[in-house]
């Protein structure tokens, strides 16, 4: 009796382990493999984006394919099977065209799930169409997870590494990264001197910080052509004025100086970093 239970339990465990393993492998297969991300982006993409192309051809083709792809679902739920099939044919033609556009990526455009979707559309039964549609959707997201961000960083973001800035204090022309270090020295110099009770030095550092802050503002226009509403806008500029006032008060309240300084660090430095550092780092390390 005991042995039978043990035997059954063993079988159960083996079965369960097998199940877990297959579902684990299935979920692993759906996710982009990290090894794929370390493969550099295909060189043939260059001619599908500015400056080589006049327009972001690849992006426009993607958008062109996405409309009939979503259109299939729009029509299906309007019970308009005729147009759903029409959208499917348009989608398939776009898909096939796109699969040939970047030869290195042809393998990421399997045709079987698309053909399967076509077959389920003949029935017009949403219960059959939806699972097949989702399978095609996975083909899209599989490649998007792997490649969309780095394509954006390479072809749509300006290049932080190409930016140079003249430092107003040393008159050196430096890279963006080097300039950030200079900005940090002035910014941190205020608090360091405050903590040491060297208020005159703290005031001097603030003047330097102001000059460098203004120089940094100029760099925004390398990539943006509209006024910036965050990070360097008048609320942050008002904080710098407030900091100056606090440093010129007598006696100086170190707590107040610390608070305002922290506020600048949060509203200017930290929040701008949240948006821009991932792009800058992705451009620096070879994920392009
Ligand atoms: C082989 C890779 C690959 C496959 C497969 C793929 N895409 Fe894309 N797609 C991309 C890349 C890369 C971008 C980013 C292009 C850019 O920003 O210039 C993109 C961008 C897009 C965009 C624009 C998103 C935006 O607003 O920035 C849409 C929409 C889109 N794809 C739809 C689809 C659909 C729908 C499918 C599947 C039927 C699909 N894609 C399959 C690589 C792929
Ligand atoms: C190397 C290019 C580059 C530089 C330099 C740059 N940005 Fe950006 N920034 C971008 C891109 C790309 C986006 C996302 C798309 C967009 O909004 O244009 C963005 C988004 C933003 C956003 C959010 C969207 C918006 O428009 O409100 C803000 C705010 C912003 N940047 C502020 C700044 C400020 C302030 C500076 C200068 C201190 C700056 N950026 C410098 C490329 C850059
Ligand atoms: C455009 C918005 C933006 C603003 C505003 C900004 N930074 Fe940066 N900062 C960046 C980006 C982008 C990087 C990454 C640059 C790179 O590594 O090429 C960076 C990197 C840095 C670094 C790391 C430099 C290194 O050696 O890797 C420091 C330190 C720094 N910033 C300090 C500051 C301080 C202090 C402030 C506020 C007073 C500030 N930054 C404001 C965008 C910004």
Contacts of 128 by beta carbon, 8 Å cutoff, 6+ apart:
120
Of 176, 217, 273, the one to substitute when testing ligand 3's pocket (max ligand atoms within 8 A of C-beta) is 273
Contacts of 253 by beta carbon, 8 Å cutoff, 6+ apart:
246
Tokens read off for 171? 């008159």
Q: Are 190 and 202 in contact (CB under 8 A)?
A: yes
Nearest ligand by distance to the CA of 63: 1
Rank 94-98, 152-156, 284-288 by mean pLDDT and report only the highest: 94-98
Residue 221 CA to ligand 2 center (angstroms) comes to: 9
**Residue-wise pLDDT tens digits, 16-47:** 444 333 344 444 444 555 556 678 899 999 99
**Residue-wise pLDDT tens digits, 169-217:** 999 999 999 999 999 999 999 999 999 999 999 999 999 999 999 999 9
- Residue 181 Cβ inside 6 Å of ligand 3? The answer reads yes
**Residue-wise pLDDT tens digits, 61-114:** 999 999 999 999 999 999 999 999 999 999 999 999 999 999 999 999 999 999
CA distance 111 to 133: 13
Q: Cα–Cα–Cα angle for 238, 243, 244, nearest 5°?
A: 100
Specify the pLDDT at position 3: 52
- Residue 273 Cβ inside 6 Å of ligand 3? The answer reads yes
Q: Are 202 and 257 in contact (CB under 8 A)?
A: yes
Residue 194 CA to ligand 3 center (angstroms) comes to: 23
Closest CA to 101 of 150, 56, 40, 148: 56
CA distance 134 to 142: 12
């Amino acid at each position: 009796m005991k042995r039978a239970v043990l035997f059954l339990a063993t079988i159960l465990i083996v079965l369960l382990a097998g199940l877990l393993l297959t579902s684990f492998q299935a979920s692993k297969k759906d996710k982009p493999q990290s090894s794929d991300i370390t493969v550099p982006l295909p060189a043939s993409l260059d001619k599908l984006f500015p400056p080589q192309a006049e327009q972001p051809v690849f992006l426009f083709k993607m958008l062109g394919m996405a409309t009939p792809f979503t259109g299939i679902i729009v029509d299906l739920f309007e019970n308009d099977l005729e147009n759903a099939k029409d959208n499917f044919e348009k989608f398939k033609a776009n898909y096939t065209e796109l699969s040939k556009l970047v030869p290195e990526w042809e393998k990421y455009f399997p045709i079987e799930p698309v053909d399967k979707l076509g077959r389920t559309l003949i029935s017009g039964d949403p219960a059959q169409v939806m699972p097949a549609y989702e399978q095609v959707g996975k083909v899209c997201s599989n490649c998007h997870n792997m490649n969309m961000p780095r394509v954006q960083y390479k072809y749509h973001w300006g290049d932080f590494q190409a930016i140079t800035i003249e430092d107003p204090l040393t008159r050196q022309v430096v890279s963006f990264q080097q300039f950030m270090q200079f900005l940090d020295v002035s910014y941190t110099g205020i608090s360091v001197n405050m903590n040491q009770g060297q208020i005159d030095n703290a005031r001097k550092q603030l003047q330097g910080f102001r000059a460098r802050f203004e120089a940094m503002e100029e760099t925004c226009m390398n990539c943006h052509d509209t006024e910036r509403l965050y990070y360097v806008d008048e609320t942050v500029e008002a904080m710098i004025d407030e900091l100056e006032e606090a440093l010129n008060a007598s006696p100086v309240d170190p707590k107040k100086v610390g608070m305002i300084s922290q506020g600048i660090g949060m509203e200017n430095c930290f929040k701008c970093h949240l948006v821009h550092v991932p792009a800058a780092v992705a451009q620096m390390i070879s994920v392009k």
